[in-house]
Amino acid sequence: MLAIKKGFTLIELLIVIVIIIILVGVGVPLSAGYITERNVYNAATQIQQDLLLVQNFAITHSSGASGWFEIYFYPSDNKYYVETTEDAVFNSSTKTIQYEKVITRQFSSALKFSGYSDGGYIAFDNQGIPHPSVGVITISNTSESKVVTVTISTIGRVKIDWVTK
């Protein structure tokens, strides 16, 4: 009887290893760009959701013309602050929070945003109208190869747009 050998030859194993190395070599650079793109878009989505949250709180919880809900931006620190209740107090000159009803959002150092100077803010009145009336926040990676804008219209609509380069 003939003995049947089971297994792979060295050549077959080397060919499989070379194919895997080629696939990994092509896939890693592609996925790095995708991860950067997702991080920029996720940051823009977070800002959009926080703007809508503050607008919703202003509409549902403000009493009269005195109730304002605000978001304060600090691009130099790569963060912003969100007031979540009527009695939330954020002192923009000292960056101190009172009553612990302010959310702090910190971006990673791989992202940057602009559109408002330090201490700049967006406030919403009890009808959901933003003040100042129009604003654009730009979020990008540090090399600015991926750029997204969050735009607040005069009527309070908040939308995200990719900037093509």
Residue at 10 is within a domain: no
Q: What is the pLDDT of residue 98?
A: 62
Q: Among 97-106, 131-140, 142-151, where is mean pLDDT lowest? A: 97-106
Phi, psi dihedral angles at 99 (to 5 degrees): 70, 5
- Domain count of the chain? 1
Q: Which domain holds residue 144?
A: 17-163
DSSP class of residue 125? Answer: -
Residue at 127 is within a domain: yes
| Residue 2 CB contacts under 8 Å (≥ 6 apart), including other chains | none
CA–CA separation, 22 and 30 (whole Å): 13
Residue at 1 is within a domain: no
Phi, psi dihedral angles at 147 (to 5 degrees): -130, 135
**pLDDT band at residue 100 using 50, 70 and 90 as cut-offs:** low
The domain spanning residue 30 has which CATH number? 3.55.40.10
C-alpha dihedral sign at 31, 33, 35, 37: negative
Residue at 135 is within a domain: yes
User: What is the pTM (predicted TM-score) of this model?
Assistant: 0.77
CA–CA separation, 122 and 128 (whole Å): 11
Residue at 126 is within a domain: yes
